Structure 1
Amino acid sequence: MAKRTVAEQPGTEGGTGRRQPCPCGSGKRYKACHGAAGGAANVIVSRPFAGLAAECELVALREFVPSATAKLSLRSGDRVVTLATVLPMAAAAMVRSDGQAFVGLQVQTRSGDVSRDLARAVEWAQQAEPGASLPAVGPEDAPEGTVPARLQDLVDPDALLDAELYDDFSWWMPDDVEPTGDVALSLERANAAIMPTRRLDAEGVHSAYWVDAGEKAHVRWVRPDPEEQLLAALARLSARGELALDADSRYAGSFRAHGLLVPVWDVDREKHAREWEQPAAAMGHRLEEVLTSLDSEPLDAAERRAREGLRGRQITVR
């Protein structure tokens, strides 16, 4: 499914020549990437969900949303596959006893391409028997001499994710099944560690979440903008004193995840998550306005200093 053999690549209609860019999106030529021996295992793809309309939401669900599911818009196959943040015992995929298939996002990466590993789990979930579980996906799962499928090969690239958030992980089990053994222990631990999380629902605000981390609450917003442009826009707002969401918040910094930048604000825990929707919408309008102006109005000296300060407050999530 969605695989091409190495031998088919050169000269086949619609195929990828060995000197052409690899279809995985790494930026390397095919012969030095997935076309090389062990290429699928060794290539690091820094932006694995590029080209998908759901890219920002995929990053949010993988990195910090604790309990959520979303149905995938697959191009083929009779079985519905549901994307999930976390599965029992951090499995890569499972098919419940009632036949519902799930693929986990928050799993340990075993290759350099999260999209490739996720696609392999999707393919397994489409064919596995009820009650089966896939502990992990590794590079060895791809047949030798093939270009492994990536998520971009399997789903509608224009489809968005309609994620449903939960306060616990009870959705792991069918309604008429009681968890036992390791699954019950995993469920208990997962429920104990969950952080209250709410999506911010406002015009112009996408893939932004309020998270109660205990001592602090945060707003985390996965942005689709190129990193340097977004950083410049944030710097301009910082120089203007307009980088906070409101008087009860402060800009904490940002982290890089899967090729995208995620700004983070510390916010007042006493306020309800809904109270941050309009401040986030206002921030979105300010950012769009500044992003539009950057080409015609380069950063001045004060804004460049602000940019360097913001750059020092970035971390990279791997």
Structure 2
Amino acid sequence: MKARASVETPGEVGPRQPCPCGSGRRYKACHGAPGGPAAIFVSRPFAGLPGECDIVALRELVPAATATLTLAPEVSPEREDRSVVLCSLLPMAAPAMVRDSGAIWLGLQVQHAFGDPSRDLAAVLTAALEAAAAGEPGIVGLTSDPGPGPRLQDLVDLDAPLDVTVHEGFDYWVADVEGRDDLAGALDQANEAAYPTVRLTQVEHAYWTNVGTKEHLRWVRPEPEDRLLDALARLHAAGEDRLVEDSRLVGMFRAHGLLAPVWDLPLGTGAEAIEEPATRFGEALERALADETPLTASERSARAGLANRQVTIR
């Protein structure tokens, strides 16, 4: 077991730089302002958690997925066997639900934002554990900034891997519910809004999706932004960033301190067809990441183009 230490990751953002929350305002006029939207802003809130990249993907990119969280025994010994399921989205975007069985579902795609999603998740999880212990099923949420407190890194076993299951829709919401007829309409509506998504098996943290008009690969990467941009620029300048014929690296998302490169894929490609190309690209990317020589003129130009095609989520 690793030491139970909270992972401190304050954002190093200049006052005149765009606020990393994605508001479009300068940091000094947003999260950096006295009395701004949050008392704190953590630029990489899930650092140190098992499956950090997948947690970011489930929070921002994947419609329907679950993963079991393992609580740290020292959090409370009697809760060690409590089932805690991390969910991309819960009904009504609920922060958490205590099921009739006593299991806890913790939602990632929520409406509130108080500066540190890891602390917010920990506050919701703590409240849900208390409700479950009291035998009180139902929705648990936040109505205001929870203030200082533990972060998710303090509550879970940092050695336990995060095993993600991507679902075709939201039927898992009601898998343990009898008499589902009154929920059928809402469930159908939710399922229709969920784009087909598959987590690749040969590389980590990469998700294929079909949005109807196009297919995409979205690959959340753990490397620091500058280092990753340099490596991607080297591959782009060398023409080595194409996965399959007519595919194109079109840009990247920035979310919670990580970058997620995005490729456009031709319709009909499918997830299986990009497993091996993604593996080859991953190997090439590792070599590029290890290259410390200065960028050439063409590589610097490619880097500038990639940097200009970033979209910050939240």
Identify which of 39, 43, 46 aligns with 1:46.
43
1:299 match: 295
Can you give the 5+ residue segments of structure 1 that lack an aligned partner in the other structure? 1-13, 17-21, 29-36
Match in the other structure for 2:153? 152
**Which residue pairs with 1:26 in the alignment?**
10
**TM-score (normalised: structure 1):** 0.82
SS in 2 for 1:178: coil
Whether 2:130 is the aligned partner of 1:132: answer no
**CA distance in structure 2 between the aligned counterparts of 1:119 and 1:23, rounded to whole angstroms:** 13
2:165 match = 164
Partner of 1:120: 123
* CA–CA distance in structure 1, aligned partners of residues 71 and 35 of structure 2: 27
Cα distance between partner residues in 2 of 1:314 and 1:27: 18
Question: Per-residue displacement from partner, 1:177-232 (whole Å, max 9, x unpaired)?
Answer: 23476x65543321120110001111xx1110100111000000000011011101
How many Å apart are 1:306 and its aligned residue? 0.9
Q: Partners in 2 of 1:237 and 1:23 — Cα distance?
A: 33
Deviation at 1:122, TM superposition (A): 1.3
Q: Give the drift of 1:140.
A: 4.3
Q: Distance in 1 between matches of 2:102 and 2:118?
A: 24
* Per-residue Cα deviation, 1:56-105 (whole angstroms, up to 9, x for no partner): 01001111111111110110324111100111111000012232210000
The offset of 1:235, in angstroms, is: 0.7
**Counterpart of 1:308?**
304
Give the whole-Å Cα distance in 2 for the aligned partners of 1:250 and 1:221.
14
1:267 equivalent in structure 2 = 265
Distance 1:64 1:84 in 2: 13
d(CA) in 2 for partners of 1:289 and 1:213? 32
The change in CA–CA distance for 1:40 and 1:305 in structure 2 (over 3 A counts) is: closer
In structure 1, what is the Cα distance between the partners aligned to 2:145 and 2:215? Answer: 41
- Count of aligned pairs: 282
**5+ residue gaps in structure 2?**
13-33, 74-78
- Contact 1:254–1:261 (8 Å) recurs in 2: yes
Q: What do the CA deviations read for 1:275-300 (whole angstroms, capped 9, x no partner)?
A: 1100000110010011111x2x1101
Per the normalisation by structure 2, the TM-score is: 0.83
Q: 1:174 to 1:198 in 2, by over 3 A?
A: closer
How far off its partner does 1:309 sit? 0.9
Local SS of the residue matching 1:42: coil
Deviation at 1:315, TM superposition (A): 1.1
Q: Percent identity?
A: 49
On the 8 A contact 2:120/2:146 being kept in 1, the answer is no
Q: Which moved more, 1:56-65 or 1:38-47?
A: 38-47
SS at match of 2:45: coil
Counterpart Cα distance in 2 of 1:305 and 1:251: 15
| Residue 189 of structure 1: aligned partner | 189
Determine helix, strand or coil for the equivalent of 2:125. helix
Partner in structure 1 of residue 60 of structure 2: 63
Map 1:3-18; keep pairs closer than 5 Å.
Answer: none
CA RMSD of aligned residues (A): 2.5
* Displacement after TM superposition at 1:166 (Å): 1.0
2:243 and 2:61 map into 1 onto residues whose CA distance is: 20
- CA apart distance, 1:160: 2.3
Structure 1 distance, partners of 2:186, 2:106, is 17
Contact 1:110 1:139 in 2 (8 A): no
* Aligned partners of 1:26 and 1:46 also within 8 Å: yes
